[in-house]
Amino acid sequence: MVVRIVRIDPSKFQCFEDYLSIRTIYPDGTVKGFDLPSDTLNMQPFNFCIPPKYSNENPLRFYPVKKNFLLITYAKADDISNPFTYNDWGIVIDLDGVIHSEIKLGPSYVDNTTKEWKPGQDSITLNVHRDNGFIRTAPITNSTGFSLQQFKM
């Protein structure tokens, strides 16, 4: 079992401290973990906050893509005050905390009515054969269409 441990940052509204704390709990009870700060991960601080209007949407999401590997999705913004500059990214990390790759997944979704960034609108579906990667489905801003992409590991 792999878990993320979070600590609330009391100096920010609806935010966690800016690091990933991952623990792997093995069937024999052994626990192995790592902590990576946001600057090592090249993740902007807003990824560690829950947007007030979208309290069920965590910008950071985790997927077990292969044995001993996690895909973590998050967003990067060219201009934090302009949601139309946000892009979804993925980073592959092993269970020792070693970063193996980082990839731009595509534009983040922006709500047409409010013009606000709405995290977590895409969907990652893992292939039954993990070596064949995963499929990402994402709504397209200002459209009723969806983007469908395959990523191979």
What are the tens digits of pLDDT across the range 102-151?
A: 999 999 999 888 898 988 889 999 888 888 889 999 999 988 899 988 88
What are the tens digits of pLDDT across the range 76-108?
A: 999 999 999 999 999 999 999 999 999 999 999
Phi, psi at 137, each rounded to 5°: -115, 130
Does pTM top 0.85 for this prediction?
A: yes
Domain ranges of the chain: 2-151
Strands 19-25 and 31-37: antiparallel
